[in-house]
A and B are shown apart, each in its own frame.
Chain A
Amino acid sequence: MKSEAKARPAPRVRGRRLGAFVFLSPGLTYLVVLLLVPLGLVLSYTVFQRGRFGGVVYEFTTENFTRLIDPLYLGVVGDSLRIAGLTTLIALLVGYPTAYLIAQLPSRWKTLALVAVVLPFWTNFIIRVYAWIMLLSGPGLVNSALGKLGLGPYELLYHEGTIVTGLLYSYLPLMVLPLYAAIERLDPQLREASANLGASAFTTFRKVTLPLSVPGVLSGCLFVFVPSFGNFVIPEMLGGNKSTMVGNLIRDQFLKARDWPFGSTLALALIAVLVALLVVQAWAARRA
């Protein structure tokens, strides 16, 4: 926000600040009470120990952090980065042309296309994941259709590819929407000027459209990467529990192992990775 306070008379400023505070306070209260306080509590557990039968023993330890750098857990973080990264990359490759095309549509069709993009969100997430199981399972729709053509049955379910498919399907709209917003804002005259100056359609895209839509690309990637990285439902349902991602690991510490301190430490590591990504994204968006 640019502060124009210096150019204005003081009383007005005070009024505006107070007004801003009044309007911000519900949101701020919500964030502090329902996000920061519980988060602070969870993070405070990272320096305590698990009781013998679960629970938290309030004795200081740094053991949780030394456990964190165990190759086993680093491997899980690596797998999660790979799966979330691959999902984000494919989402970008699929989402960019989609967003570009929607931005070119006449306005009547534009609205319809955007509704179509967000339509899946009107159905419960778990039900949509189950739908994939019904499509891909051994006796599922895809295999029975292929069977009629004399092909298959194929092992379509319960491997890493299925996890990427499920994540891609779930979060693709989160890639398309910010990209659409970024491309839609571009001044068509810029593209015309580029063409007038002799650039081919591809050069125009490479030199004009793409660089100007980078902030949208960055937001879209972040919106897809973050929930993919922490997801634990899809690896369980579509991956048949055969791969572990960070989300599964954290959930298992809290529920199965009843090891709140280590679960909190893993959660802190996850938050640290995501905050680092946000910082990178903000920096890259400023440079773009």
Chain B
Amino acid sequence: MKSSRRKFIAMAGFAALGWSVCPSLTRAATEAGPKLYFKEEGSLEASQWAMAIDTKKLDRQIMNKCIEACHTLHNVPDIDSDQNIKWIWIEPFRNLFYDQSHPNLKNKANQPFLTLCNHCDNPPCVRVCPTRATFRRPDGIVLMDFHRCIGCRFCMAGCPYGSRSFNFYDPRIYLENLSHEYPTRSKGVVEKCEFCAHRLDKGQMPACVEASEGALLFGDLNDSNSDVRKALRERYSLVRKPKLGTGPKVYYLI
């Protein structure tokens, strides 16, 4: 009797060991299998994407074209209330740069500028998101995974630039024509500009950059030959709220 109880305990021990090892074995098996996922051919790559906005070239018409290009492509609804959704929008200079009052810039106070998500180096929105629905890709794009967003809005509270919008409604109610290039969102999800990550992966430039007639420049910040770096070498530039240490990657050429 005694010896069989011992045997039983020993067997149970082995079985438990087996179960604890087995899951990692199955994973090892699939990882060793064929690789099924690949990057798209001709995708644009960078170690840190950045945008430079040439404020001298911006006028109302160009700004509206940029907004139109982005919002129609991404099915961003236009809701006539404070519950509107915006990925890229117009703000006067004094709202964007109230903390940077260079005397020579006083005359700019009312000039309208374009603004969007800054794709920060050190994004507070990413740090506070409990589900990792928003995350920073290795190429510096701060992306939303709409599938994971639970609508807690921590990221909206975290973002010091107001770059995020919340869907209080099903956006399709407000969209006359749907763009088949990009999904809509569902009610209860936070959204923002995603630097057109899906276009870069296909080898295309962001939609607003294409529509901007040269007023928006886009490229790799760490490549000294990129448009953005060239422009930053030659012109005086500002970023929003530099003191917060978020490291914005949208530069305003003054």
Q: Are A and B bound to each other?
A: no
> A residues within 8 Å of B by Cβ?
none
> B residues within 8 Å of A by Cβ?
none
